[in-house]
Amino acid sequence: MGNNKKRLKLMFEKYTWNITNFSKVFSFQLFSDKFILDGQTWQIVITPIGSMDDYIDIYLEADKDCANVPEGWKKAANFSFAVTDQVNDKMTIRKGFEFEYSANDYSWGIDDFLPLQELKNPGSGFIVNDTCVIEAGIFFTKYVDENSEYQPVCKIDDNPTRDRNNPLFHKMFRSSYENVDQKFVPLLVEACLQHPSLVVSQEKRSCRFTEWAFSALGRVLHFLKTKTVKDIDDEACNHLQILWDELKTFGFDLTWLEFYVESALGAKDYMENIDEMRKNVSALKIETEKLKARLIERETKLEMSSKELMKAEKICENSIWMSKSGY
C-alpha cells in the first residue's frame, strides 16, 4: 500500500468573474455564477451598478441551500477581492478581510470598494472591451497527501471536460509549503490577506521557487514579530540585512514592509540614542540634586537674614519710641 503521509499547506483559491457588456448592466445588484472555494459554494454580489451611488460594493455570499451544517457551526476564513486593471496589473485594486461565517451569518463584504467614477473612467484599465473582471479569493490551510496534484475547480454545473483556459473556470493558485517552517504560516496568511499581490506575484513560479520565496518572507516576518528594539544588536542587524537582501530577490512588492525593516535596522542606533539620553538624564538629575542642595542652603541663609533684619528693625523702632517718651 502507498504511503499516505500528509502535510499542512497554505492554500489560495480564487474565482474570476468576467462581467461582459458591462455598460448595459443596470441592475441594482448583480450576482455571479455559483462557484466553490474551500469546499463551500459561493456567489459574488456587487451593488450598485445602475444607481446614482458613488461607490461599488462587493460582497461574498455563502449558498444557504448548500450550507447543510449543524446548529452552531462556524468557520473563520480570510478573503480577498480584486477589481482587475486589465491594462496594468499594478493598478489592480485588491482588498482583504477576515470573516467568520455560519449558517446564520453567510454574507460579508466591503462597502465603498471603488468609486464608480474611477471604475468607469475610460483612462483606466478596469473596463476593457466593455468587460469588467472581478476576483474573489480565499486563504486557508489544509492537510493534503504529499504526492497529490491540485486540479482547477470549475464553476458549478460546468462541464469538467471543457477547455481549462475557459474564463469560466477557477484560476487556482497553490503555494507548496512542504519545506516552510509551520510557525511562519499564520504570519504568511495575515500578510497575504492584507497584500494579495504577494500571492499573485508567484502564480507563474514553480512550486520549489514559491517555497523558497515564502520561506524567505516568513523568516523576515518572524524576525520582526519576535524581536524587540532592545534585542537588536550588531549581530541581529547583520542577520536581518541578510534575510532582507535574500527576500528582495524573489520579486515581491515589498513597499508595505520596507518601513518595518528599516526601523528594525535602525533600532541599534535608536538604542544608542536612548543610552545617550539616559546618560543625559542621569547627569541632569545629579545637577538638579546639587541645585536643590544649594537652593536649600540659600533658603536657610535667606531665612536667617530675614530674622536678623526683623530683629534690627525692631531695635530701631524701640530706640525711636524711647527717644520720644523722654526716657
pLDDT tens-place string over residues 277-288 = 788 888 889 999
143 within 8 A of 23, measured Cβ to Cβ: no
The grid coordinates of residue 168 equal: 469560466
Whose cell is 534585542? That residue is 231
Specify the pLDDT at position 221.
94
Query: Would residue 28 be called left, alpha or beta, if left means φ above 0 and alpha means ψ between -120 and 50 degrees?
Result: alpha
Cα–Cα distances (Å) from 217 to 18, 141, 175, 198, 203, in that order, read: 32, 17, 13, 10, 16
Residue type, 142: K
Residue type, 94: R
pLDDT under 70 in the chain at which residues?
1-10, 48-53, 64-73, 75-76, 103, 141-179, 203, 268-273, 318-327
Q: Look up the pTM and report it.
A: 0.51
Specify the pLDDT at position 322.
55
Residue type, 151: Q
Specify the pLDDT at position 161.
32
Q: Please state, in angstroms and rounded to a whole number, the distance separating the CA atoms of residues 109 and 228.
A: 35
Specify the pLDDT at position 32.
93
